Amino acid sequence: MLVLSRKKNESIVINDDITIVVVEIRGDKVRLGIEAPKEVPVHRNEVYEAIRKSQSPESAADEAQTAES
């Protein structure tokens, strides 16, 4: 994992087309702005995990069993 220090209004560029900007620092919270192409999905980790879980083969099998009942 790469760890970087940034101050308010400073940014990080990933692969020439994704920019992450430190928008605000308030106490122990940091607000980030993310500029990315529309075809690049950007999610908070908990949302990403929920999406991934809902798309897993187990979930599809569970849904199929529920539909059969």
Confidence of residue 56 (pLDDT cuts 50, 70, 90): confident
Name the helix (H) or strand (E) containing 67. Answer: helix 57-68
Q: What percent of the chain has pLDDT over 70?
A: 83
Q: What is the pLDDT of residue 5?
A: 96
- Residue with tokens 């999406």, as numbered in its chain: 51
**pLDDT, tens digit, 9 for 90 and up, residues 20-43:** 999 999 999 999 999 999 999 999
Whether the model clears a pTM of 0.85, i.e. scores above it, the answer is no
